[in-house]
Amino acid sequence: MFVINCPHCNEPREEEEFHYEGEAFIARPAEPETQTDAEWGDYLFMKKNPKGWHWEMWGHSAGCRKLFVVKRNTANHAIDGAWTLTEARAAYDAEMAKI
């Protein structure tokens, strides 16, 4: 029952307007046919599922229908930001660079 700021609608909205779309930044391998079964299986099924900060995709299903990225703490539902898909990668990379 948290509130998410949709970066497209540009205002905070109730969780009921959104749907969860899983972990963010799981890119589809460019050459699926060259992947081993194990590599392809990792892409399909292996998720981070951390306790703590998690970068994930949400869709604004009742609103603008856009997918976007949210940084959410899975332990306490704190939300640290929401970005459009085009902005999110830079935010994520900047944070990873700090670690």
Partner 1 sequence: MSNLTFNPVMQSPLHHFNLKTKQQHVDGSKGVWANEMPLLGYISLRGNAQNALFTKAAKKALGFALPILPCSLISTSWGCIYLLSPDEWLLVCDRELRTELQQKLEAALVGIHSQVIDNSGGFTTVFVQGKNASDVLHHCTVYDLNALTIGKVVGTTFGKTSVFLHQHNNGYKVIFRRSFADYIWRYLERSALPYDFGIANLGSS
Partner 2 sequence: MSSRVIHKHSRVDFSKPLSFTFDGKIYQGFAGDTLASALLANGVKTIARSFKYGRPRGIVGAWAEEPNALVQVDVGARTTPDLKATQVELYDGLVAARTSGWPSLAFDLKSLGGRFSRFMPAGFYYKTFKWPNKFWPIYENIIRRAAGYGKSPIEPDTETYDHKHHHVDVLVVGGGANGLLSALLAARSGLKVLLVDDQSELGGYLLSMPNVTIGNLYARDWVAKIITELSNSPNVTLLERTTAFALHDMNMIQAVELVQDHLPHHERKPEQRRERMHRIRAKQVILATGAFERPLVFGNNDLPGIMTVSALTTYFNRYGVSCGKNAIILTSNDLAYQGVADLAEGGMNITLIDTRANINPLWAARFAKLGVTIYPGYGIDQALGSNAVTGAKLVKLDSIKMSASINCDIIASSGGLSPTVHLFCHDGGRPQWKDNVLAFVVSATGRANAGIYCVGAVTGVFGLQESLSATCETITEMLAALNKKVESDDLSFNTDEINCSPAHAIFRIPTTAKAFVDFQNDVAVTDVELAVRENYRSIEHIKRYTALGFGTDQGKLSNVNGFAIAAEMLGKTIPEVGTTTYRPAYTPVSFGALAGAHVGDTFEPRRYTAIQAAHNSRNASYETVGQWMRPWYFPKPVEDIHAAVNRECLAARNNVGILDASTLGKIDIRGKDVREFLNRIYTNAWNQLAPGKCRYGLMLNEAGMVMDDGVTACISDTHFLMTTTTGGAAGVMSWLEKWHQTEWPELEVYMTSVTDHWTTAALVGPKSREVLAKLCSDIDLSKDAFKFMDWRDGTVAGVPARVFRISFSGELAYEINVDASYGHYVWEELLKAGAEFGITPYGTETMHVLRAEKGFIIVGQETDGSVTPFDLDMAWAVSMKKPYSFIGKRSLARSDTARTDRKQLVGLLTDDPNFVLKEGAQLINSDNITPPVPMLGHVTSSYYSAFLGRSIAMGFVIDGIKRRSDEGNNIVYAWADGKAVKVKIASSVFFDAEGARHDV
| Of residues 49 and 76, the one with the C-beta less far from partner 2 | 76
| Of residues 14 and 39, the one with the C-beta less far from partner 1 | 14
- Token pair 């998690």 is found at 54
Minimum CB separation of residue 14 from partner 2 in Å reads: 7
Q: How far is Cα 43 from Cα 37, in angstroms, rounded to an integer?
A: 10
| 60 is a site residue for Zn ion (CB under 5 A) | yes
Residues making contact with Zn ion (CB under 5 A): 6, 8-9, 60, 63-64
